[in-house]
Chains A and B, each alone.
Chain A
Amino acid sequence: MAPLNKKIQKFLKDSIRVAPKISKKGELAELRNGLVSPYPQTRKDAIKKTIQQMTLGKDVSSLFPDVLKNIATNDVEQKKLVYLYVMNYAESHPELCILAVNTFVTDAQDPNPLIRCMSIRTMSMVRVDKILEYVEIPLRRTLQDDNPYVRKTAVICVAKLFQLNQELCIELGVLEDLVSALDDSNPMVVANATAALTEIHGVDPSVVSLPKLINSHVSQFLLALNECTEWARITILGALADYSAKDSLEAQDIIDRVSAHLQHVNPAVVLATIKVIIRNLPQIQQQNFKAISLKLSSALVSIMSTPPEMQYVALKNIRIILEKYPELLVKELRIFYVKFNDPLYVKLEKIDIMVRLVDATNLKQCNLLLTELKEYAMEFEPEFVSKSIQGITQLAIKYSGEKFVSKALDDLLELVDRTENLKDDCCIAMCDLLRHCPTNEKIASDICALLNSWAVPESSLISDAAKCNYIWLMGHYPEKFTDLEGKLDQMIENFVQEECMTQASILMTVVRLHTQLPGSTLQNVLEMATTSVNEIDIRDMAMIYWRCLSMPNSDTLVDQLCKSVAPIFENALDNFSTETLEKLLNELSTISSIYFRPQSVRAKRYVLRQNIVRGKRMDELKDMAKNEIAKNMNDDVLLDFGDDEPKTSSSGNVSSNLLDDLDDIFGFNSTGATTSSETKDMQSSTNKMNTSTTNTQDLLNLF
């Protein structure tokens, strides 16, 4: 008993020591006494102690009135401390804030510009209506201050005020002051006014006509650019990037004047500059193009020697730029070689970029990259290896020559031979290669020979996509497999537990080969697919097959359904739609370029998510949605099948759109038929199965 007691005591002691000390009554009372002490120095000490407690995360808000008494002082340090405290706790004591108003207003006229700034900044930052009521005069005064430091602060305060209270901000008419600040003699004020206007425009585009303002201030921006700090520079460059030059001369002029900033040490400045140049690039004259792209490429290369996080951002942006100007970095392949100490996320992006930028007409370069990728595939990080293997296929298909494809295939064969657990990735990769050269007997035989040699395919492969590809191959080249029936049976055994791509693939293959298989196999699969599978698409497919098979001319029908040839797989790299690409180029070096989703799309999604998800648990919602859709689909599609064509297809569409949306919400990877073009756009290269999945999908879509 005794030791247990001791343990409990020790535990209590420890937990008390670990937990932050809760300020005792006594401690607060002591601080309060200090704050109202008749001795100035004691008061200041007490303020310091209070702030100290505050920064430790203790709640000292009950001292608010007493701290506030010390706000009116000539001691700048003390004033700063009290302001700090007020900012922190104002919202918890909105009524008491009124006691500070007089001091704020007086401080906004203090001879010391720092104090003027402090006051106006605090007033427009604190979410207390009583304070905002009195902000007008100080704000107006500081907007016209003699000191540029004060003006540049006041300008930002307008944007803050706008966020807190739009009506008030418009009513006070300070937006007009903001607009005239664009003509300020001080570049920092111009930059901050631009930033403030951009922010306000983002909240409500109707209150300021930003594009018009930018149009009329280009020359101010270009002038201010060279004299302001780097962050202000980014803002101004951002505004310039929204401007479309009138003609090629102006475009060239803008490019010339911003180009110097391509060499800036801050990568954000470099990216912002690149954005301006890219914006003007389509307008310039052909003979100048070369020189500019040289500058651009060396700037892009320079950001690749920054810390990994920035490299990542750079790589994402490069990916977008390359899609528009594929020839830009063609000579710089080596810069993107993976370094052993790169973090995984950078490695994955680098592989993607290299495959994209390699010159498909340059055999030497392609060979170099192939060797490089093969080396990566022998590393140990699974995602990195998968991506490299995927890269090998993408590269081979990009170069396209059959000889090169064979070489890539040999590399893959060698890789599987070396490492057991690459079977999944290699299976997918090889099937992709085969789809690119469907007529090449040698390739087909090599691949089938390898896959045929796996004794228990069911347990060799793990991922849905890999299994799907494997079964597709069996269906396509049945003569190249020994014990086809046995292998298929292994897969069929787990039919119900498999994921839907594998299920679909099994279903198709069994139907396609039904003449070579025992009748019970077909019956068995069709039954399972129509009764025991949750996935609507699979059920549908099975229904259709079943109907066809029970028609009088079933053989020709099934032939037509199953023997059609998959389209040749021309491009293993995903692309943006033209529209998306243009939007992304306009939003370069913003969060859009990380997600590869333009802002308009992101905003829409957000709303959708809010409306639907509010107040519901995720799994609850998921079940609800699935049931609802399953019910509709059963009613509409299955019952009306055949006799009411238009209605069927339209309702089918609606529900599949719905499915899309839901899948997006839940972050599912959409399956076969339900991949909308938008999701294809955004399927980022980080998803390692990505391209192979899409390919597998169009295999499935065939039937």
Chain B
Amino acid sequence: MGNFFSSMFDRLWGVNKELRILILGLDGAGKTTILYRLQIGEVVTTKPTIGFNVETLSYKNLKLNVWDLGGQTSIRPYWRCYYTDTAAVIFVVDSTDKDRMATASKELHVMLQEEELQDAALLVFANKQDQPGALSATEVSKELNLVELKDRSWSIVASSAIRGEGITEGLDWLIDVIKEEQLAA
């Protein structure tokens, strides 16, 4: 009974509501590193994610339910299981991995076709900027054909998860967009 009331209460007042955010991208792009950078503000040692990580974090009075899904080819088909009710997608790109830009671009556009993600905002991290030879945000944006995106709030931010650069900037933008959209709705 207690549970029943508390869940009613949650729904009536909108408190405890969590915003779902997905972190996607090819394997090794730095998704898990970014998630824990956000969560605990540190660099953790990671292993390729077989499955997913999920953390709840509070950011600017919002409760974010952040899902980091594995990016290996075998896991990508299951991304779609997680699309429902997603407020935003963070797409992470390894800016040094020029060979796989096309693959990343393809995965991104296929994903954005999905009905369930029509209203989701998109933030792209052009990650690993600390590495020599990394493509700049503009170059990555070109590789990914971001200009083609219509009817969607999107942005690209140069980042280094290792150094902690660009991450909060990106997230700030994302939160502003989400808040706006919620007010509009």
A165 close to B (CB within 8 Å):
no
Q: Shortest Cβ distance from B6 into chain A, in angstroms?
A: 5
Q: Shortest Cβ distance from A188 into chain B, in angstroms?
A: 32
Of B16, B19, B70, B81, the contact of A40 (CB 8 Å cutoff): B16
Q: Shortest Cβ distance from A53 into chain B, in angstroms?
A: 17
Residues of B whose CB lies within 8 Å of any CB of A are: 3-4, 6-7, 10-11, 16-20, 49-54, 65, 70, 74-75, 78, 81-82, 84-85
Q: How far is the CA of A98 from the CA of B72 in the complex (A)?
A: 11
Of B10, B16, B52, B70, the contact of A72 (CB 8 Å cutoff): B52
Known: A69-B82, A99-B51. 10 other contacts (CB 8 A): A42-B10, A45-B7, A72-B52, A72-B53, A72-B54, A98-B51, A99-B75, A102-B50, A102-B70, A103-B52
Q: How far is the CA of A320 from the CA of B153 in the complex (A)?
A: 83
**For B53, what are the chain A residues with a Cβ–Cβ distance below 8 Å?**
72, 102, 106
Q: How far is the CA of A99 from the CA of B81 in the complex (A)?
A: 10
Q: How far is the CA of A493 from the CA of B99 in the complex (A)?
A: 98
Q: How far is the CA of A44 from the CA of B3 in the complex (A)?
A: 9
A65-B78, A98-B74, A99-B78 are contacts. A40–B49 as well, Cβ < 8 Å?
Answer: no
- Total contacts A to B, CB within 8 angstroms? 64
A39-B11, A41-B16 are contacts. A98–B50 as well, Cβ < 8 Å?
Answer: yes
Chain A residue at smallest Cβ distance from B70: A102
B84 touches A101 (CB 8 A): no
B52 touches A99 (CB 8 A): yes
**For B6, what are the chain A residues with a Cβ–Cβ distance below 8 Å?**
41
**For A40, what are the chain B residues with a Cβ–Cβ distance below 8 Å?**
16, 18
Q: How far is the CA of A539 from the CA of B20 in the complex (A)?
A: 86
A149 close to B (CB within 8 Å):
no
Residues in A44-71 with C-beta less than 8 Å from chain B: 44-45, 65-66, 69
Q: Shortest Cβ distance from A104 into chain B, in angstroms?
A: 8
Of B7, B19, B78, B81, the contact of A41 (CB 8 Å cutoff): B7
A100 close to B (CB within 8 Å):
yes
Q: How far is the CA of A102 from the CA of B54 in the complex (A)?
A: 10
Q: How far is the CA of A66 from the CA of B85 in the complex (A)?
A: 13
Number of interface residues of A (CB under 8 A): 22
Q: How far is the CA of A260 from the CA of B78 in the complex (A)?
A: 59
A101 touches B11 (CB 8 A): no
Q: Shortest Cβ distance from A473 into chain B, in angstroms?
A: 81
Q: How far is the CA of A98 from the CA of B19 in the complex (A)?
A: 25
A96 close to B (CB within 8 Å):
yes
Q: Shortest Cβ distance from A641 into chain B, in angstroms?
A: 73
State the majority secondary structure of interface residues on A. Answer: helix
Residues in A81-114 with C-beta less than 8 Å from chain B: 96, 98-103, 105-106
Q: How far is the CA of A42 from the CA of B19 in the complex (A)?
A: 14
Highest count of chain A CB atoms <10 Å: which of B7, B19, B75, B82:
B7
**For A552, what are the chain B residues with a Cβ–Cβ distance below 8 Å?**
none
Q: Shortest Cβ distance from B35 into chain A, in angstroms?
A: 12
**For B11, what are the chain A residues with a Cβ–Cβ distance below 8 Å?**
39, 42
Nearest 6 CB-CB pairings of A with B: A102-B51, A101-B50, A65-B81, A41-B7, A39-B10, A99-B51
**For B10, what are the chain A residues with a Cβ–Cβ distance below 8 Å?**
39, 41-42
A45 touches B3 (CB 8 A): yes
A38 touches B18 (CB 8 A): yes
Q: How far is the CA of A98 from the CA of B50 in the complex (A)?
A: 6
A36 close to B (CB within 8 Å):
yes
A134 close to B (CB within 8 Å):
yes
Q: List 8 A-B contacts (CB under 8 A).
A: A40-B16, A44-B3, A65-B81, A72-B54, A96-B81, A98-B50, A102-B51, A102-B70
Q: How far is the CA of A101 from the CA of B50 in the complex (A)?
A: 6
Of B50, B78, B82, B85, the contact of A96 (CB 8 Å cutoff): B78
**For A96, what are the chain B residues with a Cβ–Cβ distance below 8 Å?**
78, 81
**For A98, what are the chain B residues with a Cβ–Cβ distance below 8 Å?**
50-51, 74-75, 78
**For B4, what are the chain A residues with a Cβ–Cβ distance below 8 Å?**
45
A100-B51, A103-B51 are contacts. A36–B7 as well, Cβ < 8 Å?
Answer: no
Q: Shortest Cβ distance from B62 into chain A, in angstroms?
A: 11
Q: How far is the CA of A101 from the CA of B7 in the complex (A)?
A: 30
Chain A residue at smallest Cβ distance from B81: A65
Chain B residue at smallest Cβ distance from A66: B81
Q: How far is the CA of A344 from the CA of B154 in the complex (A)?
A: 81
Q: Shortest Cβ distance from A308 into chain B, in angstroms?
A: 45
Q: How far is the CA of A617 from the CA of B157 in the complex (A)?
A: 72
Q: How far is the CA of A96 from the CA of B20 in the complex (A)?
A: 21
Chain A residue at smallest Cβ distance from B10: A39
Q: Shortest Cβ distance from A84 into chain B, in angstroms?
A: 18
Q: Shortest Cβ distance from A29 into chain B, in angstroms?
A: 12
